[in-house]
Structure 1
Amino acid sequence: MEAMKREELLKKHQYKIWQGKDGKWYTYLPDESKKDGRRLIKRTTEKGIQGTLEDYYKKFEQIQKVTFKYAYDRWLEAHSISFNSENTLVKYRTDYERFFKGSDIEFMDIKLFNEENVKSFIISLCKEKKLAPKACKTLCGYMRNTFKSAKIHKDIPENPFENLETKQFYQYCTRKVKTPEQRTISNHEFKLLYEQFHLDYEKHPDYIPTYAVEFASLTGFRVGEISSLMWKDIQNGMIVVNKSEKYNREKKEYWIGSTKNGKERYMPLTDEIINLLMRIKAVQKKYGFDSEYIFANENGRIHAPVISSCAKNKCKQIGIPYKSIHAYRRTFSSKLKCNGVSTTVVASLLGHTEEVNEQYYTYDITEMQDKRLMVGMVTKDIINTQVLKEENRLPIKKGNQR
């Protein structure tokens, strides 16, 4: 086997090997520093000169070798220019650790990949790590793009993923199926939650995260959007949603960025939302929480994880399964649809991603007053699931609404 490998390496040598009159063995090796691009070497024996050539071409082969890791890093570096957030780059690196680090393919020569061993790797990983279809789709995307990049750089003649489809691997995935009851909040659960909210308002009226969770139930906003909401965003009978809290996992810092889809949207104010905002304003005034942010206390703006933790704690207090802020969002969306609101209007109100809007190829031309009626049906429905204590409500002042 070694002899065959040696013979294969020596075939790459383009210069003549000869024995001189002095009995020494000679040949040339490539050397760009020399005028003619080569340098003369000599050894005492033919075996010695063959050994030198073998060492040279082995090192050359290693230098020329493009591993999967190298190809992935090169693709990621080129692709990262399009990232809007540092967290996206962190995610790609974290996913690499999850899917590829320490695997058999990490330092495998990119030329050795073919459709069969790529398919085998994905199936094995799906089974071993019990990947959900969404994670499998992410994995396949990384591999497809890494090979595509390698082809562009002429490391490989063909993309071994080209004839494979992501969905063919879903049968090997672990599906974590949740019922609608687990993903949303029932009317009975809303009743219990609101009873707990008002109990908290009596005992700890200055605890702002509880108000933020109630606000989530009335708007369906994302937790980062709630955390970054400012009083100046309440205008002309609407809530303007144009930012969201972000967290840089590398720097461990919070910052305010754009919404998930990068677009501004508007949520009409209903009586129930106005009442909640007035209660929050009264609490901030009473306890001296002077802030431009709606959800802030003596220490400043309330961060998204604190709001999420509060939502979890409310469920624990009343003895129901954990309902995330996103569960409030799903429920709000579902209630809108159950009240006959079109998917397009729901997408407009909740700020769904471009993919959702493009899927329906329609545009939202509904007047804000009509949206107010639609949202009002939902907020009234949520509030009516429990008995409000009048002392916790402030009179509603009608502002300039359109």
Structure 2
Amino acid sequence: MFLERFIQYIKFEKRYSPHTVAAYQSDLDQFIRFLQSDQPVTHPSEITHHHIRSWMVTMMDDKIIARSVNRKIATLRKYFKFLVQEGVITVNPTAKINTPKIPKKLPVVVEDIKLAKMLDDDSVFNTDFKGLRDKLVIELLFGTGIRLAELLGIKETDINQYEGTVKVLGKRNKERIIPVNTELKRLLTDYVELKKMQNFDNNSLILIVTDKGANAYPKLIYLIVHKYLSYISTQNKKSPHVLRHTFATALLNNGADLNSIKELLGHANLSATQIYTHNSVERLKSIYKLAHPKA
């Protein structure tokens, strides 16, 4: 009963995305199954920080990574905070919980100069609809830094050719306007015109579509990105998010301030954007080692 009320709360009052709601539901279902199998409780007020710590130990014994453990505990924090607000419990049992530290990993990027050179090479992409769509996918991800879900949600009406901008719907249904470069503006115009000429049956208003005109899906975008990044990079990770990281790192390396990058990426706070400064520091270190006689 309490869980259902919470799910309704985040779905309709907080207006979380279906993906986020599903993740919360899954985390809470896992916790409830753990309680039922190990230390059964009949009411949320019976749950203590000992139960939660025991669940954390079980997950870590099962080799679940720290990032996933932290996400599940964050779900519990949200759930018990809701129960306190509703008057179901008086004490939040997650208050005494310390989550495991996550080792910081530098964002994986590709060389922006190589990427730009590939995009300018007319021999890389075919001139048919599929080739133009593939090029637009890479150009949009690298040229705007948008997330995969944001790319898939762009409609033709979200493009403002006069202003030279594209509107995207980010996390928590927050809209933001992102400028596009001249080359990307031209490519968007060419693609939309060619898309209309295909006479697809469903005539989808979603910008990126499959070869048959259906709305594009995540796996298709991953395949496209992996294919073209393989031309310029031997690293294992070749995902749409690598292009987002490359976009942000390129801006920082060329003098953009963190607040501007934060707004372009749609980050909720500056701390999420600051990770890119580490890439810049590493770049400076490598330049120093190559150039300085004392290095």
Please confirm whether the aligned pair reaches a TM-score higher than 0.5, indicating the same fold: yes
Please list every run of 5 or more consecutive structure 2 residues that lacks an aligned counterpart in the other structure: 275-295
Mapping of residues 252-401 of structure 1, within 5 Å: 258-281=169-192, 283-284=194-195, 287=198, 292-296=205-209, 299-300=212-213, 302-305=215-218, 306-316=220-230, 320=234, 321-350=236-265, 352-356=266-270
Distance change (3 Å), C-alpha of 1:279 and 1:267: same
Mapping of residues 11-90 of structure 1, within 5 Å: 71-84=2-15, 85-90=17-22
**Aligned to 1:116, which of 40, 45, 50?**
50
* Aligned-pair CA distance for 1:212: 1.6
Matched, 1:226 2:151: yes
* Aligned-pair CA distance for 1:155: 6.1
Matched, 1:170 2:100: yes
Distance change (3 Å), C-alpha of 1:226 and 1:107: same
Does the Cα contact within 8 Å between 2:164 and 2:185 map onto a contact in 1? no
Deviations 1:68-94 (A, max 9, x none): xx5544544444432424443322222
CA distance in 2, matches of 1:295, 1:147: 40
Distance change (3 Å), C-alpha of 1:217 and 1:128: same
* Aligned-pair CA distance for 1:337: 1.5
SS in 2 for 1:169: coil
**Could you tell me which amino acid in structure 2 is paired with residue 139 of structure 1?**
K
Deviations 1:201-258 (A, max 9, x none): 15x554423432233222222233333231562232321314xxxxxxxxxxxxxxx4
**Could you tell me which amino acid in structure 2 is paired with residue 295 of structure 1?**
I
CA distance in 1, matches of 2:57, 2:256: 42
Sequence identity percentage? 19
SS in 2 for 1:201: coil
**Could you tell me which amino acid in structure 1 is paired with residue 52 of structure 2?**
V
Distance change (3 Å), C-alpha of 1:217 and 1:74: closer
Counterpart position of 2:283: none
Q: Which has the higher helix share?
A: 2
* Aligned-pair CA distance for 1:332: 0.8
Count the aligned residue pairs. 265
SS in 1 for 2:125: helix
CA distance in 2, matches of 1:146, 1:231: 38
Q: Which has the higher strand share?
A: 1
SS in 2 for 1:329: helix
Instruction: Identify the range of structure 1 (295-304 vs 335-344) with the bigger mean alpha-carbon deviation.
Output: 295-304
**Could you tell me which amino acid in structure 1 is paired with residue 256 of structure 2?**
V
Deviations 1:324-371 (A, max 9, x none): 222111111111122211122223333x143349999xxxxxxxxxxx
Counterpart position of 2:124: 199
Please list every run of 5 or more consecutive structure 1 residues that lacks an aligned counterpart in the other structure: 1-69, 243-257, 361-402
Counterpart position of 2:281: none
Instruction: Identify the range of structure 1 (123-132 vs 313-322) with the bigger mean alpha-carbon deviation.
Output: 313-322
CA distance in 1, matches of 2:273, 2:105: 24
Distance change (3 Å), C-alpha of 1:101 and 1:209: farther
Mapping of residues 234-253 of structure 1, within 5 Å: 234-242=160-168
Distance change (3 Å), C-alpha of 1:197 and 1:355: farther
Highest RCO, 1 vs 2 (Cα 8 Å, sep ≥ 6): 2
RMSD between aligned residues: 3.9
* Aligned-pair CA distance for 1:323: 1.9
Larger Rg: 1
Deviations 1:140-167 (A, max 9, x none): 23334444555567665644333x14xx
Counterpart position of 1:92: 24
Deviations 1:121-180 (A, max 9, x none): 3233234242323x3333223334444555567665644333x14xx3315xxx576444
